[in-house]
Amino acid sequence: MWLSSLFWLAHCNPNSALLQFHGLGGKVKETIKKAAQTVCHSTKSIALTGAGISVESGIPDFRSPGGLWERFNPIEYSTIGAFQANPEKVWRMLQEVSHLLARARPNPAHTGLGRLQELGLLHTIITQNVDSLHQEGGATRVIEYHGNTRTLSCLWCKQRYKADELGGQIPPECSCGKILKPDVVFFGEPIPTRALQESYELVSTCRVLLIAGTSGEVAPANTIPEMAKKAGATIIEVNVEPTVLTEYVTDIFLQGKASEMMTKLVSEVESILVKN
Ligand code: NAD
């Protein structure tokens, strides 16, 4: 699943009229307004989020300079084979991640998406993140495409535990004596079947896909935008920089920090609702 799947870009339409927000006064407002109107008029909107939406909550994305992958080679620390071979070693990396997640709090991008759900304008959030910040930010319907850290399982005897019943011991151990693995999807593991099926059903019938903070480089989550596009959805993308999705799939590009863009978007949505 983790193979880069850029092959699909060849099938996309590169001629879509891309509306871009580049920090230029009136044009910014127009682009935000267009995005807000699109969300307000949509009968079914889905969000797709990635590591970038949690950067402002204090969880750096792993591949940027200084990120986790600079110190922990993902092949050595993030494959299921690596965990099976040497779980103690992999827990050195997981311990750092756990500390980051423990301190993180939802930022206005998370709460903004929660607010859109509250307003009945966002059906479901599909997130690649494992940090539970969408739920903490008020979202009630979230598909965790890559699992979460709230539970841990034993690969050997299959027992499952809640993280908060394990007492903070690192590495955490199962009653059978083996080391537990957090229920996040490692490289080489399949996406949980239910998450995959539900996402497919929702995305293939959505009218708007709101993408925030994903590079579009991790498969198979990066096939979701094209799936939505093929279903006729309008694609709104929020990112600090253009991605592989921007030119070929995105219709409305909001360039900037997720928290700022989402705050502006939600505020515009609310003012449209008040006027109507
Ligand atoms: P990625 O690291 O490949 O890409 C992150 C994207 O976010 C980039 O395009 C970057 O330009 C953008 N970005 C950075 N800061 C931003 C900001 N403030 N506002 C808006 N955009 C911003 O992330 P990915 O596509 O999600 O794939 C990485 C994988 O690593 C995923 O599987 C994810 O599960 C995992 N991961 C999860 C977490 C988390 O749970 N918080 C953190 C790091 C990595």
Summarised one tens digit per residue, pLDDT across range 13-66 is 333 445 555 444 678 889 999 999 999 999 999 999 999 999 999 998 887 777
Q: What is the mean pLDDT of residues 171-200?
A: 97
Rounded CA-CA distance 6/244 in Å is: 8
Closest residue by Cα to atom 42, ligand 1, is 51
Whether 172 has a pLDDT exceeding 60, the answer reads yes
Give catalytic residue positions.
146
Q: What is the pLDDT of residue 5?
A: 29
Which atom of ligand 1 is nearest to 52's Cα? 7
- Domain boundaries, given as residue ranges, for the chain: 1-59+107-146+191-276, 60-103+151-184
Closest residue by Cα to atom 14, ligand 1, is 52
Whether 8 has a pLDDT exceeding 50, the answer reads no
Cβ(127) to ligand 1 under 6 A? no
Q: What is the pLDDT of residue 19?
A: 58
Which atom of ligand 1 is nearest to 67's Cα? 43
Whether 227 has a pLDDT exceeding 60, the answer reads yes
Q: What is the pLDDT of residue 18?
A: 59
Segment (H or E) for 33: helix 25-41
Cβ(241) to ligand 1 under 6 A? yes
The CATH label, of 1.10.443.10, 3.30.1600.10, 3.20.10.10, 2.102.10.10, for the domain at 60-103+151-184 is 3.30.1600.10
Q: How many residues does the chain have?
A: 276
- Predicted confidence (pLDDT) per residue in 102-150, tens digit: 999 999 999 999 999 999 999 999 999 999 999 999 999 999 999 999 9
Rounded CA-CA distance 235/3 in Å is: 24
Smallest CA-to-CA distance from 214 within 1, 67, 63 is with 63
Whether 275 has a pLDDT exceeding 60, the answer reads yes
- Predicted confidence (pLDDT) per residue in 74-93, tens digit: 889 999 999 999 999 999 99
Closest residue by Cα to atom 9, ligand 1, is 215
Q: Which residue has the higher pLDDT, 183 or 71?
A: 183
Token pair in block for residue 123:
């059906």
* Å from CA of 175 to ligand 1 middle: 35
Q: What is the mean pLDDT of residues 255-260?
A: 97
Q: What is the pLDDT of residue 55?
A: 95
Closest residue by Cα to atom 23, ligand 1, is 51
Cβ(144) to ligand 1 under 6 A? no
Q: What is the pLDDT of residue 23?
A: 47
Cβ(215) to ligand 1 under 6 A? yes
* Å from CA of 231 to ligand 1 middle: 25
Q: What is the pLDDT of residue 25?
A: 62
Provide the CATH number for the domain formed by 1-59+107-146+191-276 in this structure: 3.40.50.1220
Identity of the residue numbered 106: P
Whether 4 has a pLDDT exceeding 60, the answer reads no
Rounded CA-CA distance 109/16 in Å is: 26
Cβ(61) to ligand 1 under 6 A? yes
Cβ(237) to ligand 1 under 6 A? no
Of 61, 217, 240, 254, the one to substitute when testing ligand 1's pocket (max ligand atoms within 8 A of C-beta) is 61
SS3 (DSSP) at 144:
strand
- Predicted confidence (pLDDT) per residue in 187-216, tens digit: 999 999 999 999 999 999 999 999 999 999
